Structure 1
Amino acid sequence: MKYVDEFRDPALARSVAAAIAREAAPDRAYHLMEFCGGHTHAISRYGIPDLLPGNVRMIHGPGCPVCVLPVGRIDDAIALARRHEVTLCAYGDVLRVPGSGRVSLLKAKAQGADVRMVVSPADAVRVAADNPDRQVVFFAIGFETTTPPTALAVRAAQARGLSNFSVFCNHVLTPSAIEGIMAAAQGRSEELRLDGFVGPAHVSVVIGSQAYEPVAEQHGKPVVIAGFEPLDVLQSILMLIRQINQGRAEVENQYTRAVTRSGNEKAQALVAETFEPRLSFEWRGLGSIPRSGLRLRDSFAAFDAETRFGVESASVPDHKGCDCGSILRGVKRPSDCKLFGGVCTPDNPMGSCMVSAEGACAAHYTYGRFRDS
């Protein structure tokens, strides 16, 4: 297929859905987690659940980088932004995530903090170059997809001698998160059954399909990397059902037009030269996961905002009424939360899952809540 409308062909979608219905054994249930927030959005937007038989359930995962940031890291960013000498640059979605007391970076900006929205780390480097009298901090978040641009920004700042630029690093790692999900499912009292994963698309372009092979081997769960179009998702669900029926647990790549087994090796080398794994990093809903976050290597310590400003992160609990953590673990759906659609809306988010368009609550509010009624 060549054009985007071919990936949304209704006749082909009905054909794949019919194949899923035929091959899904009626005497068993299939619990499939789409890890990536982009897939969560696509599944809700295109009404994929309506095309699936009742025994095939899609479970939202924690693959929204804005959603998985814990409250404590938001509080740290707000504290940095409130320093009189600091200009904090961040992506737009991050500005709206509520921290302690429901204060967000956007509210801190309204109260006088110098907070600026950027669309890339390179924008933050330009801000630093244009304002040599300010300490410019880039609030770096995201999975492996957005880590290489941050590495390039640090290197650009180093090459230009910008001593007023630093990075508050919150980059996290996808395979480690999947390990964290499995650990959470096994170590908590609430039941979470997982039979397979729809693997991320853009992340896998960088790290390749081989990154998920240990997950499939160690946990016996199949992983199928999928594109974001409705036919991509449906085909991936069919591939997972076939693996489960055959008793296989392998990594398969549906998104062959963009993903290879080895991934982007130049990007991987750039990240490895610039960053190193933290001993542990806290995820909202999943707690601290070993070696799941990145920090700048000692050779780039001069650009580490945590070192420069003495940031000491603390674990801060979510809003008491917000079920975002349980939704990110897959044990609850957005509609299970008492605040969903009433107190908590995209205009008034109580938790991070309602902020980003890729968040499970925001996607369900936009597309799925009508099915609930």
Structure 2
Amino acid sequence: MKYVDEYRDGTLASRIAAAIAAEADPSRRYSIMEFCGGHTHAICRYGIEDLLPANVDMIHGPGCPVCVLPIGRLDMAIDLARRPEVILCAYGDMMRVPGSDRTSLTKARAQGADIRMVYGSADALRLAQENPDREVVFFAIGFETTTPTSAVAIKQAAALGLRNFSVFANHVLTPSAIQTILDSPEVASSGAVRVDAFIGPGHVSTIIGSAPYERFARDYRRPIAVSGFEPLDIMQSILMLVRQLNEGRCEVENQFSRAVTRDGNAKAQALVDEVFELRDSFEWRGLGTIPDSALQIREAFADWDAERRWQLRYTTVADNKACSCGEILRGAKKPLDCKIFGAVCTPENPMGSCMVSPEGSCAAYYLYGRWRDA
């Protein structure tokens, strides 16, 4: 297949759904976690869960970079933006995420902070060149997919001698999150959350490849299918996982072979390794503090590290007690299990990040009408 519409063919989707129904053993349950928020949105948008037999459960994982960023890190960015000499550049999906006292970047901008929405690090770099009398800080977030672009911006700033540009790095790592889920009491030892298999993230895997997941298949006995984002991609990945579980196999299968290889993008990996190094620990919303789960800027590029330049210090901030974002990110709850979903918490009045981000589970349920299932 060459065109997007072919990956959305309803007749083919019905055939794959029939194959899943035929091969799913009615005497057992299949609990499959899609890690990536992009997969969650595709599942809701195309009604994929409605095509599955009742004993195939989809569990939504923590693969939304906006959602897993803890409130304390957002507060650091807001405090930085309030400095009169600073222009803070952020992605649009971060703008309305509520921080402490429900203050967001949007509210801070309304109160006078100079906060600019950008499409990427190149926009922030250009702003620094156009405003030599201001300090331009790029609020960098994301998994392995967006990390290379931050590395490029830092290297370009160094090459240009651009001293009024810095990066507030909040890049996190997918394998660490998967291991934390598997090691958590909720999943391990037959806990409250059952995860039999994973749909591996597609975009992340274009960078890191499929090889980093092999240890989870081998050591934790969980099949993984790296998937694309179209409905037929996801349906095929579910069928691959059902077959693995039926046959007692635990392997990493690459459904997204048109974009993902086993070893990934070596050039991007080398670039990231040149600019970034592992942090000792990093706090994730919902998952807690995870060692070696995020990146920080290396000493060689310290002049472009906003945390060093501004001596930023992180403080843990508790989530809103009424919001179930943390449990939703761990797979312990679904959006409809949250008592304030669709009532107090809506996209116009978000109480947590899962309702704001375009990759958040709550936003997907609300946007595509899954709340009507209640």
Question: What residue is the counterpart of 2:205 in the other structure?
Answer: 204
Question: What residue is the counterpart of 1:213 in the other structure?
Answer: 214
Contact 1:281 1:292 in 2 (8 A): yes
Q: Give the aligned residue type for 1:105.
A: L
Question: What residue is the counterpart of 1:241 in the other structure?
Answer: 242
Question: What residue is the counterpart of 2:349 in the other structure?
Answer: 348
Q: Give the aligned residue type for 2:142.
A: G
Question: What residue is the counterpart of 1:158 in the other structure?
Answer: 158
Contact 2:342 2:371 in 1 (8 A): no
1:367, CA displacement in angstroms?
A: 1.4
- 1:332-343 residue pairs with structure 2 within 5 A? 332-343=333-344
Which whole-Å CA distance do the structure 2 matches of 1:267 and 1:18 have between them?
Answer: 40
**What stretches of structure 1 of length at least 5 have no aligned partner?**
none
Question: What residue is the counterpart of 2:306 in the other structure?
Answer: 305
Which whole-Å CA distance do the structure 2 matches of 1:188 and 1:195 have between them?
Answer: 13
Task: Give a deviation string over 1:87-138, Cα, whole Å, max 9, x none.
Answer: 1000001111100100001100000001001101011011111111111110
Question: What residue is the counterpart of 1:319 in the other structure?
Answer: 320
Q: Give the aligned residue type for 1:4.
A: V
Question: What residue is the counterpart of 1:43 in the other structure?
Answer: 43
Contact 1:196 1:222 in 2 (8 A): yes
Q: Which moved more, 1:182-191 or 1:305-314?
A: 182-191
1:284, CA displacement in angstroms?
A: 0.3
Task: Give a deviation string over 1:269-325, Cα, whole Å, max 9, x none.
Answer: 000111001011111000011111000011011111111111110111111100000
Which whole-Å CA distance do the structure 2 matches of 1:301 and 1:126 have between them?
Answer: 20
Question: What residue is the counterpart of 2:257 in the other structure?
Answer: 256
Which whole-Å CA distance do the structure 2 matches of 1:212 and 1:176 have between them?
Answer: 10
Contact 1:145 1:202 in 2 (8 A): yes
Which whole-Å CA distance do the structure 2 matches of 1:187 and 1:46 have between them?
Answer: 31
TM-score by length of 1: 0.98
CA distance 1:326–1:301, change in 2 (3 Å): same
Which whole-Å CA distance do the structure 2 matches of 1:112 and 1:188 have between them?
Answer: 51
TM-score by length of 2: 0.98
Which whole-Å CA distance do the structure 1 matches of 2:329 and 2:175 have between them?
Answer: 15
Question: What residue is the counterpart of 1:295 in the other structure?
Answer: 296
Which whole-Å CA distance do the structure 2 matches of 1:113 and 1:187 have between them?
Answer: 45
Question: What residue is the counterpart of 2:28 in the other structure?
Answer: 28
- 1:7-156 residue pairs with structure 2 within 5 A? 7-156=7-156
Contact 2:284 2:290 in 1 (8 A): yes
Q: Give the aligned residue type for 1:51.
A: L
CA distance 1:371–1:17, change in 2 (3 Å): farther
Contact 1:78 1:105 in 2 (8 A): yes
CA distance 1:33–1:187, change in 2 (3 Å): closer
**What stretches of structure 2 of length at least 5 have no aligned partner?**
none
Contact 1:87 1:136 in 2 (8 A): yes
Asked if 1:183 corresponds to 2:183, the answer is: yes
Which whole-Å CA distance do the structure 2 matches of 1:219 and 1:368 have between them?
Answer: 35
Which whole-Å CA distance do the structure 2 matches of 1:4 and 1:189 have between them?
Answer: 40
Which whole-Å CA distance do the structure 1 matches of 2:235 and 2:372 have between them?
Answer: 19
Q: Give the aligned residue type for 1:35.
A: F
Asked if 1:231 corresponds to 2:217, the answer is: no
- Three-state SS of the structure 1 residue aligned to 2:368 is helix
1:187, CA displacement in angstroms?
A: 6.8
Which whole-Å CA distance do the structure 2 matches of 1:136 and 1:154 have between them?
Answer: 12
1:171, CA displacement in angstroms?
A: 0.3
Q: Give the aligned residue type for 2:261.
A: T
Which whole-Å CA distance do the structure 2 matches of 1:14 and 1:337 have between them?
Answer: 32
Contact 2:33 2:198 in 1 (8 A): yes
Question: What residue is the counterpart of 1:362 in the other structure?
Answer: 363
Which whole-Å CA distance do the structure 1 matches of 2:240 and 2:190 have between them?
Answer: 31
Contact 1:81 1:114 in 2 (8 A): yes
CA distance 1:66–1:183, change in 2 (3 Å): same
Q: Give the aligned residue type for 1:336.
A: D
Contact 1:190 1:331 in 2 (8 A): no
Identity %: 66
CA distance 1:370–1:360, change in 2 (3 Å): closer
Which whole-Å CA distance do the structure 2 matches of 1:80 and 1:295 have between them?
Answer: 18
Which whole-Å CA distance do the structure 1 matches of 2:163 and 2:370 have between them?
Answer: 49
1:183, CA displacement in angstroms?
A: 2.0
Asked if 1:194 corresponds to 2:195, the answer is: yes
- Three-state SS of the structure 1 residue aligned to 2:137 is strand
How much is the aligned-residue C-alpha RMSD, in angstroms?
1.2
Contact 1:31 1:58 in 2 (8 A): yes
1:242, CA displacement in angstroms?
A: 0.6
